[in-house]
Structure formats: structure tokens, C-alpha cells
Amino acid sequence: MYSHLRRYPELLAYFEIHRVRIIHLVRQNPLDILISRAVKRKLDQAHRLANEPPVEGLQVELNTETLLRKLQIKQRKMNRARNLLRWSGLRQMEVGYEELQKDPSSFSKLCRFLSIKSDGNMPESKFQKVRRESQTKVLKNYGEVRHVLEGTRYLVYLE
């Protein structure tokens, strides 16, 4: 987590001394991060076990007054982390969360990077995605969000 490096700057020295390989897992869509956080707050949980019934009909609202600022902050944090990793000289690989979900071969690339043997199959999780529906169904104020994002570089993150 980005906040860990800020709280514990000695981690970077440890990584360098021990030649740790870094997987920089990024969520390509910062709007989805904000939606996920709103869902987490509403449910008071971040994950659900695979054997639990899925959450249905869940709707959340995003604060449109702070939306652009929050998206900018998310983007800045990700860019700072990228620059820090580049500057550190550590062996690192960036992978998108969305890419891992869509393409099982992405895990094979990660395993090769980490020198881990892999059978090429997608790892199984004991967790399920909490939000399974589209942004249009989950965002109660989808129209307002769209209006705020019109004409900005963040519109591409809206489904």
C-alpha cells in the first residue's frame, strides 16, 4: 500500500538490501476505486467469502463536489509510486488489476518475474467480488457523476 511506504520509509532500504522484486498492482480505473470504497463503507466489509450469497441491488452515491479532486489524488499517488519505483532501481513489474481478472496468462508472467513455477492456470480465491454489477446500476447518482466528468480526462473511466 502506498501509505505503508510513507509510514515506514525504511521499507525501501530493506527492499534494496534484499533485492526484493516488486509487483506494482494498480487499478487502472480510479473511478472504480472510489466506487469500491463507497461500497465498502456501505456494507462495512471489503470482501465476501466465495460461499456467501452475492450482494444484489446495492447502490451507492459518490460526492460529486469532491469527485474530481479525489480522482486527481488517486492518479497522483499512482504516478508518485511509479516514479519512486523507477528511481529506486528495484526490479519491478506493473500489472493492472483488471488485466489479471480478464487474462489468466498475466499470472504466468508474474510467476516468471518472481521465479515461481506455475501451471498456467488462474489461481483460485476464497473471496468473491462484492460489486458485480456495472457502474450504471451501482451508482445511484450516475447521471450527476457523468455530468461532472464530461469534458475531463476522467470521462473514459465511466462505463
From the number of C-beta atoms within 10 Å of its C-beta (0-12, 13-18, 19+), residue 145 rates as: buried
pLDDT at 131 over 90: no
Mean pLDDT of 95-122: 84
> Which residues neighbour 75 within 8 Å (Cβ) at sequence distance 6 or greater?
30
d(CA 156, CA 159): 8
Residues in the chain: 159
Query: So what's the pLDDT on residue 2?
Result: 79
Q: pLDDT category, 14, cuts 50, 70, 90?
A: very high
Q: How far, in Å, CA of 112 to CA of 110, rounded?
A: 5
pLDDT tens, position by position, 39-89: 999 988 878 888 888 888 899 999 999 999 999 999 999 999 899 888 888
Q: Which helix (H) or strand (E) holds 88?
A: helix 67-88
CA–CA dist 89, 121 (Å, integer): 31
For the cut 80, the answer to whether the pLDDT of residue 154 exceeds it is yes
* Tens of pLDDT, residues 136-148: 999 999 999 999 9
Q: Which has more pLDDT, 136 or 9?
A: 136
What pLDDT sits at residue 127? 82
pLDDT at 106 over 90: no
This prediction has a pTM of: 0.82
- Average pLDDT of span 95-112: 84
User: How many Cβ atoms from other residues are within 10 Å of residue 107's Cβ?
Assistant: 18
- Alpha-carbon distance of 155 to 31, in angstroms, equals 9
Q: Are 68 and 152 in contact (CB under 8 A)?
A: yes
Q: From start to end of 66-155, where are the E strands?
A: 92-96, 127-128
What is the tens place of the pLDDT at every residue in 18-43? 999 999 999 989 999 999 999 999 98
Pull the grid cell for residue 45.
466489509
What percent of the chain lies above the pLDDT cut of 70?
A: 100
